Amino acid sequence: MSEDVAFLGLGVMGGPMAGHLAAAGHRVTVYNRTATKAQAWLSRCGGAAAATPAEAARSARFVFSCVGGDDDLRAVTVGQDGAFPAMQPGAVFVDHTTTSAEVAREVAEQARSNGLGFLDAPIAGGEPGALQGALSIMVGGDAGAFEQAAPLLKVYGRSVLHMGPVGTGQLTKMVNQICATGIIASLAEGLSFAERAGLDGDKVIELISNGSAASWQVGNRAKPMLQRDFSAGGAVGLLHKDLGICLEEAARTGTSLPVVELVRSYYETFVDRGEGKLDAACLIDLFNGKSGGAG
Amino acid sequence: MSEDVAFLGLGVMGGPMAGHLAAAGHRVTVYNRTATKAQAWLSRCGGAAAATPAEAARSARFVFSCVGGDDDLRAVTVGQDGAFPAMQPGAVFVDHTTTSAEVAREVAEQARSNGLGFLDAPIAGGEPGALQGALSIMVGGDAGAFEQAAPLLKVYGRSVLHMGPVGTGQLTKMVNQICATGIIASLAEGLSFAERAGLDGDKVIELISNGSAASWQVGNRAKPMLQRDFSAGGAVGLLHKDLGICLEEAARTGTSLPVVELVRSYYETFVDRGEGKLDAACLIDLFNGKSGGAG
């Protein structure tokens, strides 16, 4: 069934996701803070562009967002020209942003008081997953709203699972971030060790890509680490923020996250230096004495 | 070309590796400390069994070993009835055991004085890799010996790479162990967090198996963690020993390994309690307060 939908936020992830909806025959109206990005998307994918979230959302049965963080989510929903007041009663807002569980609950409450459905639906799978329409989508919120939105989510999701009430999508994404943290840090330690031992880095990467050390990170971040290319999109500043949220939630449930605490302190070193935009691959420079951060 | 070879040590890894050599048409004589294991191997794979490493190695052009650690390697090479004095001049000894780089250099020196070649050739890929003949083999030692042995190693190795002089195979394996360490620890933290947040563990595993947290460990150790099944073969006691060797080598080259140090202290908690045989999946019980180890 072809639906009227809106997509707010056409970044590295949102752009391809909205594109898959258009390719599947849905009528997509897009909004992006930087309007030139929306125009570029239109020229590739068709559809329509709107000047504000409210205008994009007005006639949509489903509104999707994939924006920067807590404050950006507030802005596109309940801020000036936000989507919520403009949406039709019974329409569903699906947020793909990684936020705190708290803001998910807060915004869901606002949706409810506007007569709208709300799902927190963060994603995993990175840019390749978005391009191939093979993302993991971890969804919190009302089961009825999930049932309605699921066929659309499956357009770009390979695993689309309902985790429980609102906020549980974000909690599941936190598990993802916690697990990724130690992988990145120990990859940086391992490659730093390899360099100091004089080993051929490319051979090391090939050999450890099989078996107990194999990971998405070794496939995607090991070569940038060795090449000191810190230009990819996994900014340490954002990860530092995400891990802070994880630690707050963990404190609430009595879980200790010592590796997360340790690695967050390394990210903080970069944030404190004003280098928060570097990709997390930069951790490699902490472990071989070049930057002195990890002693 | 069909070769006379010997294989010392028929454990979880060595058994299938020796089996692949026999299946490829080589004449394999096996030795195992527990003789019943050698008999079981013979009934599956054919070949011959010997009562001592010396007897197994006597007429072999290549002798392979896959034993427990430094002392076991010394025992089967230069110990009583060890292989070295019995081997033909010019024959090559290939050790698949994970050892220190130091013992690799020491045993290689003994091989040289016996007129033999020696390669340190630890492996990655786990039991599935051994069964499928798809291991990573990281080889240190003389390039000529490597060229001779490589066709045999490729019988069970998917990536077979010469890393440099003797010891560099072990150094590469250390990189593997360092990288795996943080993956296991943060997986334990993440799943502990998930349990405390009341999330469905199986759904969490499915969702994080795609993207930045994806790893061999999540595919192989996550379910045992959730089920508190610590019976698999990655004993914390052995990992504790391996990481000790990694830290010694790192100190030599001026690399800091803070995640390794932290996680090794957790492994130590289990070793100190006499629980060193538990699989590393047991780390999950440190992070949710059940065992109190990680505060």
Tens digits of residue pLDDT in B138-181: 999 999 999 999 999 999 999 999 999 999 999 999 999 999 99
Among A87-101, A192-206, A278-292, B212-226, the range scoring the smallest mean pLDDT is A278-292
CA A87 to chain centre: 24
Residue A290 pLDDT greater than 70, yes or no:
no
Q: At which residue do the structure tokens 């919120």 appear?
A: A141
Residue B83 pLDDT greater than 90, yes or no:
yes
| A107 closest CA partner among A136, A135, A87 | A87
pLDDT tens per residue across span B19-67: 999 999 999 999 999 999 999 999 999 999 999 999 999 999 999 999 9
Contact A26, A149 (CB under 8 A): no
What SS3 state is found at B6? Answer: strand
pLDDT tens per residue across span A116-151: 999 999 999 988 899 999 999 999 999 999 999 999
pLDDT at B133: 97
What SS3 state is found at B124? Answer: strand
Closest-CA distance, A43 to chain B, in angstroms, reads 29
B269, two tokens: 């908690």
pLDDT at B289: 56
pLDDT at A184: 96
pLDDT tens per residue across span A183-192: 999 999 999 9
Residue B293 pLDDT greater than 50, yes or no:
no
Q: How confident is the model at residue A234 (pLDDT cuts 50, 70, 90)?
A: confident
Residue B190 pLDDT greater than 80, yes or no:
yes
pLDDT at B234: 86
Cross-strand bridge partners of residue B157: B135
Instruction: Please answer yes or no on whether B256 and A294 come within 8 Å at the CB atom.
Output: yes
Among A137, A173, A179, A226, the strongest candidate for a mutation testing the B interface, having the largest count of B CBs within 10 A, is A179
Give the domains, in start order, of chain A with CATH numbers. Answer: 4-165 (3.40.50.720), 171-287 (1.10.1040.10)
Which A residues, 218 through 257, put their C-beta within 8 Å of a C-beta on chain B? 218, 234, 246, 249-250, 253-257
Instruction: Please answer yes or no on whether B172 and A203 come within 8 Å at the CB atom.
Output: yes
Global ipTM: 0.94
Contact B108, B141 (CB under 8 A): yes
Give the contacts of B101 (CB within 8 A, at least 6 positions apart): B120, B140, B167, B168, B170, B171, B174, B249
Q: At which residue do the structure tokens 């472990």 appear?
A: A287
Residue B93 pLDDT greater than 90, yes or no:
yes
Contact B265, B167 (CB under 8 A): no
Closest-CA distance, B167 to chain A, in angstroms, reads 10
A226-241 residues labelled b (16+ CB within 10 A) or e (exposed): beeebeeebbbbbbbb
Helix (H), strand (E), coil (C) string for A164-189:
ECCCHHHHHHHHHHHHHHHHHHHHHH
- C-alpha dihedral sign at B153, B157, B160, B166: negative
pLDDT tens per residue across span A215-230: 999 999 999 999 999 9
What SS3 state is found at B62? Answer: strand
pLDDT at B291: 44
How does strand B135-141 pair with strand B117-120? antiparallel
Instruction: Please answer yes or no on whether A124 and B208 come within 8 Å at the CB atom.
Output: yes
pLDDT at A291: 45
Catalytic residue, chosen from B154, B173, B223, B241, is: B173
Residue A279 pLDDT greater than 90, yes or no:
yes
pLDDT at B66: 98
Instruction: Please answer yes or no on whether B253 and A196 come within 8 Å at the CB atom.
Output: yes
Average pLDDT for chain A: 95
Averaged pLDDT, A245-273:
95
- C-alpha dihedral sign at B266, B269, B271, B277: negative
> How far is A236 from A157, CA to CA, in rounded Å?
26
pLDDT at B282: 96
Which B residues, 28 through 47, put their C-beta within 8 Å of a C-beta on chain A? none
Contact B248, B265 (CB under 8 A): no
pLDDT at B249: 94
Q: How confident is the model at residue B281 (pLDDT cuts 50, 70, 90)?
A: very high
**Torsional class of A126: left (φ above 0), alpha (ψ -120 to 50), beta (otherwise):** left
Residue B295 pLDDT greater than 80, yes or no:
no
pLDDT at B294: 41
Q: Look up residue A285 and give its DSSP letter.
A: G
Q: At which residue do the structure tokens 């974000």 appear?
A: A170
Averaged pLDDT, B204-230:
96
Residue type, A268: E
pLDDT at A289: 56
> Residue B152: exposed, middle, or buried by beta-carbon count in 10 A (0-12, 13-18, 19+)?
buried
A164, two tokens: 């429980």
Helix (H) or strand (E) holding B139: strand B135-141
Could you give the percent of chain B with pLDDT greater than 90?
91
Instruction: Please answer yes or no on whether A136 and B207 come within 8 Å at the CB atom.
Output: yes
Residue A46 pLDDT greater than 90, yes or no:
yes
Active site residue B173: yes
Q: Which residues of A touch B179 (CB under 8 A)?
A: 183, 186-187, 189-190, 208, 213, 215, 218
Instruction: Please answer yes or no on whether A213 and B183 come within 8 Å at the CB atom.
Output: yes
pLDDT at A208: 96
| B260 closest CA partner among B197, B191, B203, B176 | B176
